[in-house]
Structure 1
């Protein structure tokens, strides 16, 4: 029987793999075949992408190679004008334009040294992308003059502090695969590598900034003073006075290295920030979060979650405002390995809060902690009970698993297939359902499916097989449209990733999924695939954007606020569904139901657009890294029957119009989709956890900014009564629960548990740690990853070919 069982399991795997391969495939995709020295595939691909809703789509260029605009890249010639010309060409969204989705710009840098003397200004909806095989370097000249080498939101000269774009709405930007060199700038001359004042749907990844290591240096690799982000990942900062200076409502940083700086990370304000897998070496201070005191006006850093740190040869790991027992900024440290770090947590005045040395900080908190139904928290500056972490969420070193977006740097162009080359139009008008389905049916599993820039209309379910790799040229749009998606009582999946029981891989990158008006029955995405290896089902830089842009019929012209709109302004039934048995890794995924218009509206007018639900997670082994979900009627995040989830940060806003109409109006309740009851408060939930286990949330920014479009409730902190609920669940741990204008931060098993009034932390209110288990102060703590017992290990299912 053992031999037979093994044979059947292997056979099941062969069936799965065979079925996943398209009809034109002779073998799986396998490893990259690009020749040594060959250009990066993105440079060599034919670029036939378009901006479908641009006034002149036939002539507008999305892809721009800076060398086509005169850049030399020899480190000698001044390339500033050429690079900025590549960015600005064809009347793109620069100074005077608030936002635009119709003027996308993918600005590509081949290998080289690009000398600049004044700032590079990436316009709205711009991605600056370098050769991933041989990263280009932007070199600041010795006479560089400007605020930052790359400035994503310049201050207008003589504008009294005004900037090009509103920071909270500075969406859709990327810098990827580019290095910066500031070492030619005299050390004592202030300079910033990147001014990154951005919000959601932005990414800074695979970037290295090198600065002087002279003792007099005052350079900063990155400066961010505002915004509402966002994700930064796979970064390295060497030298400088301060590696990064950061302030934002919330942000996630994963996999970053800091070395040889006076200060590695200087936090200037936030409501919540999560740092995951960070290395700090040979710096004066690791994290400086002291901003002057303990009041809301002087201690402006609200919360820092520090998970999986490695710190060496640094006198102070974390420096905060004061050692007294007041709420001087929330801190949670999880798994920080220190080597020759004398002070783990200290104060600006020189006091030691937590001694360092060579040690591992397993679980340490500064702030208010709560357990279960406790309504009164305990302020601590001490070790606390560590969470139990499922082994399936951890990498081989015991850290939370993480994965950068696929770059396919070793792959050649013949390993890609262009959807336009195979018949898809992407013009935002013609129906591409059949063409796209044929491409997936033919090439899934053996080719990387390349979505040239464009807007691809689908009018029926698009079945995307297990084993698919798909990547957009630059936020390529799939536009869901048609009567199949118009019935709220009979919802229909638009993008179906795999089928129930599938085991394998999936990679989705640089895609925007949208709907048109009246799509009340659209389930935008459904994920059914169980990952065959850790994190092998993944979405990166992929967003569900519902309304607010041209081509959707959900803009100011149709859905301006306070006009008693109904289903004609509906956008979706559900944005994303991770089904029972499925697993997924999400990084920089934003599920946004539009609150304002992005195109042709300098006032950024608010609109009433109705989306039923954000993300429903029923699967197992889930990572949500730097995700957001906003303005959905029932909930933003719903975990029902979910197991083994890591999330950090999750960011939400509830609908501005509620409770007028009251949630969930105009949508009906669906028992089939396990809707929570929101009728009592009339407001959507940000977070709902029910019948779930082993949920780790490392940073939650849950905000309610309006009550029926009025904001007087901000002052009284009661725009809505409840925002997060946990019920009938085990091993749920939430760190840095930061809420805005909500009376009860947490409702546990139906009981209004934590009132925000006890946790005011500047503008927000923060719970440093809450656990469904007992959370207590302890002198010594030990953490072990729980291993699945043999009886709980997943067996590969045996399926017949006919089931597909």
Structure 2
């Protein structure tokens, strides 16, 4: 895939009892705090699961939600649960093995109740899988002493005897999430690299969150938390690494990493290559090296670290904060930016393999320092810079009380009882990819907004006119539930109409949207897919936000924007192949905290053979007119094209 740089753009996790602009007709009071007792199961375990994969060949028989214990896993820390877990993942003819490159018709949530799950071989996370542990008491995945495989969780297996071939093309390995686990490999002998937590060779629309990695601290340890040799990601956040040779060993086009802590590792982060990675809110304690970067490559064949931005770091008792593999001598490919890095007992802030010191450390704060080539205007000539650089202006509204860029984790509602949720399918919506669900969804919001968390059971929900989500609403999808705009209302590019309006104009209140895909059923040249109007309550940064949700235009079953309609030869024409007018519009009075969103106009078909190129058209990706604050964390947008831009 073409790359999308992760960005933070300027233009306290709070309860849900904040200001709302209005309550549903069934509501006597706002939702308020969670009412689950400590002994109650996590709501996801007990809520009724009736989600469907709308375009699966057998949607009424295909199982989206799977509890690993229903497949025989014990979670007792003694029984080998490997086979049972992999059976839960693979059941239902899912996509993997090297013969299926991708698909959207076999989504799955694989749920792990609390417990300790002993595994002796990798858990293979197939395409379009969310592995989710109990958010109240995260389960432990415990590698046995005889564990044999690339990692406890493998998101892209190498095919035995395949000469390096893998299940999926790494740049197209989309739609994955792993959440709420402790991954413990300390029973694996320290010198064995099989003591790896996750092999995460993935691309866009992927996330890791709320995971603790327990690794050996022995002097000869080869353990590592995350191993990633290629791909085109992605977002990860809220991770803790204890021990290991490497907390993270990574090489990937681009990623955003937020809120990680690495304790007692030899190297916190080793980076082999990238185009651009952003690390935000990084804590490194008692390691030997914080960031070890392979540098100097100037060609595609010799690509090393292209760009590394490290923002809001706290580094303690670590001899070297950042080390590069190549000394500059006035010229060095790639760039490094350090911003608001607080060092305590860190003798070398920036060094080079072999011992050269570029920037002395100590106990100090690095306000803004950079290394790399600076270009000005339209000149192709570069000036190599190595030293203090202008500190970016960060308005106080974007920061937390400690002066760091504000951050807010993906809501998981661990304290909420299942009675505080309401299912859209229980209230008349079908989600079958054919029925017009507009009226049903409008009625659900009118009745329950503000006093229930609205659960979108897995499915594809067709809307034929603008669907407004009122301020005060919390929405949770299941395996990326889909809301799709379809019909004549969205076919006039001269008078574009909104598919999903997030808050009425000038509205204010809580808004939380997670695990939803927004799309269209083409041709829809007049579709503004998401219009964001809502403003967060006063004093509640991040009160209006969206997490792990995506705008996916075309390239999937049910969109009428696939290879059959719009091949890359262009024979489908323009009129049949318009996917949208605009993907996301953030309005002037709105605020937004958006994390892990991918807005993608498909350049290839995810279904069918999973690789054939297609030609689709959409004029605009993300337009923000907001006066702020807006946080776009790990947000990417790509491949938007309109015929007039081609001179047609």
Report if TM-score (shorter chain) is over 0.5.
yes
Does residue 433 of the first structure (1) align with residue 438 of the second (2)?
yes
CA contact (8 A) 1:633 1:665 kept: no
Shift of 1:273: 0.6
Structure 1 residues 171-201: Cα deviation after superposition (integer angstroms, max 9, x where no partner):
0000011110000001011122100000000
**2:138 corresponds to which residue?**
135
**1:275 corresponds to which residue?**
279
User: RMSD of the TM alignment (CA)?
Assistant: 1.5
**1:163 corresponds to which residue?**
166
**1:123 corresponds to which residue?**
126
The 3-state SS of whatever aligns with 1:663 is helix
Shift of 1:294: 7.0
**2:22 corresponds to which residue?**
20
- For residue 103 of structure 2, the aligned residue among 92, 100, 105 is 100
Shift of 1:379: 1.3
**1:627 corresponds to which residue?**
635
Shift of 1:501: 1.6
Distance across 1 between alignment mates of 2:290 and 2:252 = 19
CA contact (8 A) 2:515 2:547 kept: yes
Does residue 449 of the first structure (1) align with residue 454 of the second (2)?
yes
- For residue 617 of structure 2, the aligned residue among 579, 588, 610 is 610
Shift of 1:378: 2.6
The 3-state SS of whatever aligns with 2:623 is strand
> Cα distance 1:295–1:631, how it changes in 2: closer, same or farther (>3 A)?
closer
Shift of 1:374: 7.1
Structure 1 residues 700-724: Cα deviation after superposition (integer angstroms, max 9, x where no partner):
xxxxxxxxxxxxxxxxxxxxxxxxx
**1:44 corresponds to which residue?**
46
Shift of 1:130: 0.3
Shift of 1:296: 6.4
The aligned runs of 1:558-597 (5 Å cut-off) are: 558-564=565-571, 565-597=573-605
Q: Normalization by structure 2: what TM-score?
A: 0.94
Shift of 1:478: 0.6
**2:59 corresponds to which residue?**
57
Distance across 2 between alignment mates of 1:499 and 1:49 = 29
Distance across 2 between alignment mates of 1:296 and 1:551 = 37
Shift of 1:563: 2.8
CA contact (8 A) 2:243 2:265 kept: yes
The 3-state SS of whatever aligns with 1:229 is coil
CA contact (8 A) 2:436 2:461 kept: yes
**1:497 corresponds to which residue?**
502
**1:29 corresponds to which residue?**
31
Distance across 1 between alignment mates of 2:223 and 2:454 = 42
The 3-state SS of whatever aligns with 2:518 is strand
The 3-state SS of whatever aligns with 1:613 is coil
- For residue 542 of structure 2, the aligned residue among 529, 535, 538 is 535
CA contact (8 A) 1:323 1:347 kept: no
> Cα distance 1:122–1:420, how it changes in 2: closer, same or farther (>3 A)?
same
> Cα distance 1:150–1:566, how it changes in 2: closer, same or farther (>3 A)?
same
**2:8 corresponds to which residue?**
none
The aligned runs of 1:154-553 (5 Å cut-off) are: 154-191=157-194, 192-290=196-294, 300-320=304-324, 321-370=326-375, 376-532=381-537, 533-553=540-560
Unpaired runs of at least 5, structure 2: 1-17
The 3-state SS of whatever aligns with 1:450 is strand
The 3-state SS of whatever aligns with 1:222 is strand
**1:743 corresponds to which residue?**
none
Distance across 1 between alignment mates of 2:463 and 2:116 = 43
**2:15 corresponds to which residue?**
none
The aligned runs of 1:636-675 (5 Å cut-off) are: 663=645
**1:801 corresponds to which residue?**
none
Distance across 2 between alignment mates of 1:226 and 1:257 = 23
**1:113 corresponds to which residue?**
116
**1:71 corresponds to which residue?**
73
Shift of 1:567: 1.5
The 3-state SS of whatever aligns with 2:88 is helix
The aligned runs of 1:684-703 (5 Å cut-off) are: none
> Cα distance 1:399–1:55, how it changes in 2: closer, same or farther (>3 A)?
same
CA contact (8 A) 2:309 2:337 kept: yes
Distance across 1 between alignment mates of 2:529 and 2:455 = 20
Shift of 1:371: 5.6
Distance across 2 between alignment mates of 1:154 and 1:536 = 39
Distance across 1 between alignment mates of 2:330 and 2:259 = 32
Distance across 2 between alignment mates of 1:662 and 1:420 = 42
Shift of 1:295: 7.0
Does residue 153 of the first structure (1) align with residue 160 of the second (2)?
no
Distance across 2 between alignment mates of 1:161 and 1:97 = 16
Structure 1 residues 581-628: Cα deviation after superposition (integer angstroms, max 9, x where no partner):
1110111101111111111225x1111111111011000211111111
Distance across 1 between alignment mates of 2:367 and 2:246 = 27
Shift of 1:355: 0.2
CA contact (8 A) 1:322 1:349 kept: no
Shift of 1:299: 6.0
Distance across 1 between alignment mates of 2:140 and 2:470 = 38
Distance across 1 between alignment mates of 2:479 and 2:568 = 31
CA contact (8 A) 1:449 1:470 kept: yes
Distance across 1 between alignment mates of 2:278 and 2:297 = 22
Shift of 1:568: 1.1
